[in-house]
Structure 1
Amino acid sequence: MKKGLLIAISTITLSVISCKKSESGNKNVLKAGDSTILADNGKVDSTITYNTDVNGKKSIKTDYVYKATDGTLVKVVFNYKEKTMSIRNNNKTFILNQVESKGNETTYEKMDMKATVKKDSLILDQGNNIIELVKTKI
C-alpha cells in the first residue's frame, strides 16, 4: 500500500515538474501592442472597451447588452475588423456599417437606420423613432 502511494506521488510530482509552459499561447488572442484601434482622425478610439486578463494581456470586448429606457434589452456586437455593428432584439438582427469615427463618437448606418455610439450610450435613429440605450453591466 505504501509502495503504491509512493509511486503515485512520485509520478504526479514528475509530471508536474516536467510540464513546460508554452510561450506561444493562443494565436487568435490579440497582443497588448496590437489591440489599440485608432479612429478615423488617428487618435485612440475611446468607444472601444478592452478586457485585461490576469497576465495583463489586453483583448477587445466586442459584445454588449444595452438597455432601452423602456427596459428592453438589446444585444450589440461590434466587428472592428469589418467595421460593422449588429443589433439583435426580438429575434431580428440589424447589421450597420461604420460611417465615421471621431475618437469619442462612432456612427453606423444602413438604409434609414443610424446608430451613434458615445461612451456607454447608443442612440438609434430610424425615421421618426429615436431610441436611447445605455450599456448594462450584465
Structure 2
Amino acid sequence: MKKGLLIAASMIALSLTSCNKKESGNKSIIKTDSSETVVKDTNGKIDSVSQSSSTLEVNGKKTEKTDYVYKAVDGTLVKVVFKNDPKESTVAITSNKKTFVLTKSETKGDETIYKKDDMTARVVGDSLHLEQGNNIIELKRTKI
C-alpha cells in the first residue's frame, strides 16, 4: 500500500513539474521577422511595389541586387532579379523552377534592353516585355 501511494504521488509530482509551459515557447522553432521594410522611390515617397534590394561593397566596388515579383497576364507570378555590378548588369527571370539570365545590351531613354541568344527583355517603368521568337509575354510589377 505504501509503495502504491508513493508511486502515485511521484507520478503526480512528476507530471505537474514536466507539464509546466513557458511563454518563451519552443527554442528550436525559427521565429519570423516581423519588421516591416519600407521602400522609398526616387521622390522620397513610400513605394507600394513588392521589392527587396541589397548592396554589397567589395574593395570599393558596389554590387546592387534588386528583387521584384512580376505578374503575367494569365496570373502567373514571376521572380525578377536585377543585378548591377562593375563588370555587367543582368536580369534573372525565374518561373516554373527555370531561370533565364540576360545581360544588359542597351538603354534608350526610359527603356532598358537585356538580351541572350534569341530572348529579349524590354523593361519600361513597371512593365517587362519578354520576347522569344514569335512569343511575347507581358509582365507587370505586382503591388502590395
| TM-score tier (shorter) | 0.5 to 0.7
Shift of 1:80: 1.4
Shift of 1:128: 1.1
Write the distance in 2 (CA, Å) between the matches of 1:72 and 1:50. Answer: 19
- The correspondence of residues 1-138 of structure 1 with structure 2, limited to 5 A, is 62-81=66-85, 82-138=88-144
- Structure 1 residue runs of 5 or longer lacking an equivalent are 1-35, 37-48, 52-59
Write the distance in 2 (CA, Å) between the matches of 1:78 and 1:121. Answer: 14
- Structure 2 residue runs of 5 or longer lacking an equivalent are 1-41, 43-50, 54-63
Write the distance in 2 (CA, Å) between the matches of 1:61 and 1:135. Answer: 16
Write the distance in 1 (CA, Å) between the matches of 2:102 and 2:76. Answer: 20
Shift of 1:137: 1.8
TM-score, L = length of structure 2: 0.53
Q: What are the superposed Cα offsets for residues 15-53 of structure 1, whole Å, 9 maximum, x if unpaired?
A: xxxxxxxxxxxxxxxxxxxxx9xxxxxxxxxxxx998xx
Write the distance in 2 (CA, Å) between the matches of 1:117 and 1:137. Answer: 17
Contact 2:65 2:81 in 1 (8 A): no
Aligned residues: 83
Write the distance in 1 (CA, Å) between the matches of 2:135 and 2:106. Answer: 21
Q: What are the superposed Cα offsets for residues 70-123 of structure 1, whole Å, 9 maximum, x if unpaired?
A: 000000000011300000000000000000012401000000100000000000
Write the distance in 2 (CA, Å) between the matches of 1:65 and 1:101. Answer: 22
Change (3 A) 1:80 1:61: closer
Change (3 A) 1:106 1:130: same
Tell me which amino acid in the other structure corresponds to 2:68.
Y
Tell me which amino acid in the other structure corresponds to 1:67.
K
Shift of 1:61: 6.5
Structure 2 match to 1:23: none
Write the distance in 2 (CA, Å) between the matches of 1:100 and 1:134. Answer: 21
Report 1 or 2 for greater relative contact order, CA contacts < 8 Å, sequence distance ≥ 6: 1
Write the distance in 2 (CA, Å) between the matches of 1:108 and 1:79. Answer: 12
